[in-house]
Structure 1
Amino acid sequence: MKKLISCEFNIDTTCVELKYSDGSMVSIDTIAVENEVVENMYEQSELDYLIYNAPAEYADLILNGDPVTYLKTVTRYNSLDD
């Protein structure tokens, strides 16, 4: 079983990079993810927070979770039209 050695955000490539003990690497394109799942600036802000402050949790959410449901659960905003 491969073990996660490191997980960090690479600002030059805008990717969260995971490196494993067997030498393999996974690179998550954060811009592509955001283009698919983000619907407003509050959801964008939530993902940005995870990318910069908790990249391992971000990677787990994207690879193993449901980011759309997560964002609907943790973000709240009031429309100016209300």
Structure 2
Amino acid sequence: MKRLVSCEYNFDNCCVEMKFIDGSMIAIDTIAVENEVARNMYERSELDYLIYNAPLEYADLILNGDPEAYLKTVTEYKSLYYYCTSRSPVIGLRL
């Protein structure tokens, strides 16, 4: 079993990179994963959240988990109309 030294998102090549104690490295091309797994902007947003905020959990999901099942479980589908008509302080638009 290899010991993980670091796991971080590299903005230059859009990869989540995992570096191990023996010098080996695994790079996950996040754009390719999104093109294969995410079916819409909501699912891409969920993956983006993991990429930027929890790259280790993202890598574990892609390498060991079932990303399609994960996205079906966590994705909330809310239309722009929802944000425009709600009293959300984030967006003050009204239709």
**TM-score bin (small chain):** over 0.9
Q: Number of aligned pairs?
A: 80
Partner of 1:27: 27
Work out the CA distance in 2 between the residues paired with 1:78 and 1:9.
28
TM-score relative to the length of structure 1: 0.92
Q: Say which structure, 1 or 2, has more relative contact order (CA 8 Å, 6+ apart).
A: 1
Work out the CA distance in 2 between the residues paired with 1:2 and 1:75.
32
Unpaired stretches in structure 1, ≥5 consecutive residues: none
Work out the CA distance in 2 between the residues paired with 1:78 and 1:15.
28
Output the aligned Cα RMSD.
Answer: 1.3
Identity %: 76
Q: Which amino acid aligns with 1:65?
A: G
Which consecutive aligned stretches of 4+ in structure 1 deviate over 4 angstroms post-superposition?
none
CA shift at 1:76, angstroms? 2.3
Partner of 2:76: 76
| 1:3-42 correspondence runs (5 A) | 3-42=3-42
| 1:40-51 correspondence runs (5 A) | 40-51=40-51
Q: What SS does structure 1 have at the residue aligned with 2:58?
A: helix
Unpaired stretches in structure 2, ≥5 consecutive residues: 81-95
TM-score relative to the length of structure 2: 0.80
Q: What SS does structure 1 have at the residue aligned with 2:76?
A: coil
Q: What SS does structure 1 have at the residue aligned with 2:17?
A: strand
Work out the CA distance in 1 between the residues paired with 2:53 and 2:27.
17
CA shift at 1:60, angstroms? 0.2
Q: What SS does structure 1 have at the residue aligned with 2:51?
A: helix
